[in-house]
């Protein structure tokens, strides 16, 4: 039986305040309430051993359940909360979420629903509005709950609580995002208006027809909803310089050589699985050093001549290597086994945060974070 939902969210108490979310003239509210009652009744018969289909979300023994490889994986709700189906208040449908039992009861009661007698068909798998779990937070912006600062502070006693919640804390809403930049009385020539948002762009990927990045490298293009993350103090902006080959050096063709990269203000050795966690977490800064936690890469591309002005093809290169180790005496290195054929080459670094995203700097005007040199093989 499938119980996939439109919007999965763990809501703070204040976020469920009825006057804020329920439009009084919505004719679908009672139907949503009846559908929620029907789903909650069906959840009572589920166990951790119940069969399921990949992508299903449900409630099992009061815990939030997701179907992974044909079996339910349970996630406990917060203290005093239970998993339940709730009626949506801005559109037709239901959501599966964690809330207190009192919140569940009042949310359903506010719709006027008292039984599931008229909701059996709408709650069935064949008629349920569905979306993959990874798309669950891409509902319309009006479905996003924003917890007031005072309640958020009480409900998120530690960072782990905030990271398990699907509620946007009002203390994190960046009001500057609602300005498109044209308010400036003296814009620079060619300056364009920025895209704007009043909810931190948390549903931005719902506006484009692309799959979610979801930790994978999607060659055809994707949309990544992960936050950018922590940016270092301007004095901790990473920088790098090639020690060997240096610019305009000559190496022996088809002969093994070692690339050496000097690096500063990047805490190296932080490298996640690129197949499952690509761009999947924000950039992090080491609280002790103040440096970005990450790693580097080097790429060698063949050119037609030193003075080539035609852009290279980024899908074609002679050598590529991730430098995942901790720097030794401020340098990273890798061996180019067998060297490269005779010719002219460009060597570049690609410094990255732990999840492989390009380094983010705290200001727009800064020196180059990466280095690039040209060398010959003869």
Q: For the chain, what is the domain count?
A: 2
- Whether 258 is covered by a domain: the verdict is yes
CB crowding 226-243: b at 16 or more within 10 Å, else e: beebbbbeeebbbbbbbe
Parent domain of 250 = 234-377
What is the pLDDT at residue 29? 81
Q: Final residue of a domain: which of 150, 171, 192?
A: 171
Do 124 and 23 reside in the same domain of the chain?
yes
- Whether 360 is covered by a domain: the verdict is yes
Do 14 and 145 reside in the same domain of the chain?
yes
What is the pLDDT at residue 160? 56
Which residue, among 173, 162, 169, has the nearest Cα to 147 in the 3D structure? 169
Q: Final residue of a domain: which of 138, 171, 204?
A: 171
Do 161 and 60 reside in the same domain of the chain?
yes
CA atoms within 13 A on the CB side of 236: 18
d(CA 311, CA 138): 37
- Whether 178 is covered by a domain: the verdict is no
Nearest 5 degrees, angle CA 137-CA 164-CA 230?
A: 90
Beta bridge partners of 273: none
Do 132 and 22 reside in the same domain of the chain?
yes
Do 167 and 239 reside in the same domain of the chain?
no
φ, ψ at 28 (rounded to 5°): -85, -5
- Whether 166 is covered by a domain: the verdict is yes
In which residue are the tokens 């709950």 written? 145
Question: How many helices and strands in the chain, by DSSP H and E?
Answer: 5, 18
In which residue are the tokens 């449908």 written? 93
ω before 245 within 30° of 0 (cis)?
yes
- Whether 203 is covered by a domain: the verdict is no
**CB distance 146 to 22 below 8 Å:** no
What is the pLDDT at residue 183? 74
Q: Encoding tokens for residue 368?
A: 């180059």
Do 239 and 165 reside in the same domain of the chain?
no
Q: Final residue of a domain: which of 138, 154, 171?
A: 171
What is the pLDDT at residue 91? 65
Do 163 and 281 reside in the same domain of the chain?
no
Question: Computed over its alpha carbons, how large is the radius of gyration of the chain?
Answer: 26
- Whether 222 is covered by a domain: the verdict is no
d(CA 236, CA 265): 5
CB-based contacts of 37, cutoff 8 Å, min separation 6: 108, 113, 115, 116, 119
d(CA 165, CA 156): 9
- Whether 190 is covered by a domain: the verdict is no
pLDDT along the chain (378 residues), means of 10: 42 34 56 90 93 86 84 81 82 80 87 69 36 29 45 44 79 88 78 89 90 95 95 97 98 98 97 95 95 97 97 97 96 97 98 98 97 98
What is the pLDDT at residue 282? 97
98 to 37, 59, 77, 82, 227: CA distances (angstroms): 15, 9, 6, 5, 24
- Whether 228 is covered by a domain: the verdict is no
Do 167 and 238 reside in the same domain of the chain?
no
Do 17 and 163 reside in the same domain of the chain?
yes
What CATH number is associated with residue 356?
2.60.40.10
Do 89 and 13 reside in the same domain of the chain?
yes
């Amino acid at each position: 039986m499938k119980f996939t939902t439109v919007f999965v969210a763990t809501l703070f108490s204040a976020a469920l305040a009825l006057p804020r979310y329920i439009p009084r003239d919505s004719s679908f509210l009672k139907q949503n309430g009846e559908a929620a009652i029907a789903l909650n009744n069906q959840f009572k018969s589920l166990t951790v051993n119940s069969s399921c289909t990949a992508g299903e979300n449900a409630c099992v023994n009061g815990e939030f359940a997701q179907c992974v490889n044909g079996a339910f994986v349970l996630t406990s709700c917060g203290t005093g909360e239970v998993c339940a189906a709730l009626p949506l208040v801005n559109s037709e449908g239901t959501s599966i979420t964690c809330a207190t039992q009192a919140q569940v009861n009042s949310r359903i009661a506010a719709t006027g629903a008292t039984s599931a007698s008229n909701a059996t068909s709408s709650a069935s798998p064949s008629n349920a509005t569905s979306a993959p779990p990874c798309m669950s937070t891409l509902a319309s912006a009006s479905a996003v709950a924003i917890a007031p600062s005072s309640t958020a502070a009480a409900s998120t006693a530690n960072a782990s609580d905030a990271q398990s919640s699907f509620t946007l804390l009002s203390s994190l809403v960046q009001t500057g995002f609602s300005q498109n930049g044209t308010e400036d009385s003296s814009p620079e020539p060619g300056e364009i208006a920025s895209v704007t948002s009043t909810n931190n762009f948390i549903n931005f990927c719902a506006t484009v027809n692309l799959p979610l990045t979801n930790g994978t490298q999607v060659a055809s293009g994707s949309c990544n909803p992960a936050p950018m993350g922590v940016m270092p103090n301007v004095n901790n902006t990473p920088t790098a310089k090639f020690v060997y080959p240096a610019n305009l050096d000559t190496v022996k063709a088809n002969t093994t050589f070692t690339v050496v990269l000097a690096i500063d203000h990047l805490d190296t050795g932080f490298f996640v699985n690129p197949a499952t966690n690509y761009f999947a977490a924000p950039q992090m800064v080491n609280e002790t050093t103040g440096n970005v936690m990450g790693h580097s890469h080097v790429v060698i591309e063949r050119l037609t001549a030193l003075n080539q002005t035609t852009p290279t093809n980024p899908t074609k290169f002679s050598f590529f290597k991730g430098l995942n180790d901790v720097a030794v005496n401020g340098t990273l290195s890798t061996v180019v086994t067998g060297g490269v054929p005779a010719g002219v080459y460009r060597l570049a670094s690609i410094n990255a945060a732990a999840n492989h995203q390009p380094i983010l700097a705290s200001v727009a005007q800064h020196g180059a974070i990466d280095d690039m040199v040209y060398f010959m093989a003869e």
